[in-house]
Amino acid sequence: MKKTLLILLVSTFFLSACEKKFLDTLPKGLVIAQTTSDFRKLLDNADTRYTYNLAQVSGYVDVVSDDSQMDSAWYDWDRARLHAKNLYAFEKDVWLPDGAADDDVWKQNYYLNTLSSNILEEIHIATDNPKVQKQLIAEAKVHRAFAYLTLVNIYAKHYDSTTAATDLGVPIVLNPVSLPKLNRKSVQEVYTFILSELESAVADLPDDVDMQFAHRPTKTSTYAILARTYLYMGNYRKALENAEKSLAIHNFLYDYNTIYTGAPKPENLVKLSRTSDKEMLMHKTSVKSARVSDYYMLDSVSFDNLYGGFEIIDETLTENNDLRRLLWFQGINSSGQMTADRAMYIYPRNRYGLDNAPVDYIPISTPEMYLTRAECNARLGNLSKAMDDVNTIRTKRYKTGTYTPINPSNQAAVLKEVLLERRRELYGKELRLFDIKRLGLPVNHLKPGTDLPGFNVPARDPKLVWPIFYHNIELNPEIEQNPR
């Protein structure tokens, strides 16, 4: 079979029965990638107006988590999002024949794998600039590793060193053109592959990159992905080491007092974008039409418990100090009080001006690295260092002069503060389910639109793992389904 890469890549998915013909013919008007410039165009495809690109990675992941407490309007979504409703309700059957949705998360991440793998297979022909060639190889490896980190944390049990060698992970496909069998590798094999890809790539990447190219992997973002990976594995020393390497290159944090124009309304947040957000280490988004701002919402009790800095002084006077409460959510008045049944997370739309876009940004960012470093230091007994990072973030998120740094001396108390701040600061980033799985937490969902108990699962319940779309298994019977 003749193997070629096209600058205008035909939208494909490796589970499709027609993929065998994908590289057999060259459609009229398309160009074979032969130079580093050609391959650069493929790796710069991060235009999120379209489904298949390097930026889109996940969607509806955290409807399974406690960061989503649904209202009745969301829960009554149409057939196209029936699987999201079933995930929220922890139904036994999620992917139903009468639902219109495909599994875009699985499809998109294996598209990333297909594109990256084909580039790695063919880029040896682009010998015009060896240095750039090495960088492009490294970028493709990082994108592929990130796709697998996403997949294994959605469709498999969380990494456990005592069972990872036998727990089912996801298929690893290095040469999609050969149409290999799609048997699931173990969780351990997937993580070993991820680490190998990232660690072999980092040396050939630039330290950082101009924000115009925030979608391109760099040393600072690759160290950040390594830190996330090692944290999920419970290897806190390696996670700490990589978080510190990332922050040594890029450690910017916004002071919300400087990007907040004064009026206590979310719309008055100074606009940023993926080419100007200095906290962004690598640009990633939700999958098309699965915007996080559609399903991240909290009831009043959950919201008040999560975002402190608010108090009712008397019947007419309130005080709100945590600016995230005002800037990230809709349904909050100028005093910080809830005026709706649910606090709706709208920060991506306001921060990035994405009202008319089909995606929300969920970038790899510096706040995550501060909190990863804080958690690792807390678990390793470096308590003052852990609280330094927590206090740094809070000082920049609270109104000037209203936050007093705290320094608990008890390890359990420090870890509690770190994990609380991690949940606050990373809200809306599609990471909460992964924390629930690794921390062994139960999930309690309210009945949509009420404050009444609804759907609950205990810690480590199989329903915290997404089932695999039934049609993928019909096409590839060797793929074992996750139990529910």
pLDDT in tens, 19-50: 333 333 344 455 578 999 999 999 998 877 77
Give me the mean pLDDT over the 150-174 stretch: 98
Closest CA to 389 of 425, 362, 432: 425
330 pLDDT band, cuts 50/70/90, is confident
14 pLDDT band, cuts 50/70/90, is very low
Query: Helix, strand, or coil here: 464?
Result: helix
Task: Lowest mean pLDDT of 28-42, 142-156, 440-454, name the range.
Answer: 28-42
Give me the mean pLDDT over the 421-445 stretch: 97
Average pLDDT for the chain: 88
H helix runs in 337-444, sequence order: 347-352, 366-379, 383-397, 411-425, 432-439
CA geometry: angle at 361 spanning 44 and 423, to 5°? Answer: 135
Q: Which residue has the tokens 């124009």?
A: 261
Query: Helix, strand, or coil here: 297?
Result: strand
Output the pLDDT for position 15: 40
Output the pLDDT for position 99: 65
In sequence order, the β-bridge partners of residue 282 are: 364
Q: Give the rounded percent of residues in the chain with a pLDDT score beyond 90.
A: 66
Q: Which residue has the tokens 């019977």?
A: 477
262 pLDDT band, cuts 50/70/90, is low
Residue type, 404: T
Q: Which residue has the tokens 């020393």?
A: 237
CA distances from 149 to 93, 140, 142 (A): 25, 14, 10
pLDDT in tens, 44-102: 988 777 778 899 999 999 999 999 999 988 888 766 688 999 999 999 999 987 666 78
* Residue 8 pLDDT greater than 50, yes or no: no
Token duo for residue 210: 């101009």
pLDDT in tens, 363-422: 999 999 999 999 999 999 999 999 999 999 999 999 888 899 999 999 999 999 999 999
Output the pLDDT for position 286: 94
Structural domains in the chain, CATH included, are 17-227+463-475 (1.25.40.390)
Helix (H) or strand (E) holding 319: strand 318-320
pTM comes to: 0.92
CA distances from 251 to 204, 270, 352, 368 (A): 21, 20, 20, 11
Start-to-end C-alpha separation, the chain: 41
* Residue 18 pLDDT greater than 80, yes or no: no
* Residue 466 pLDDT greater than 90, yes or no: yes
H helix runs in 89-186, sequence order: 104-122, 130-155
Q: How many CB atoms lie within 10 A of CB 396?
A: 17
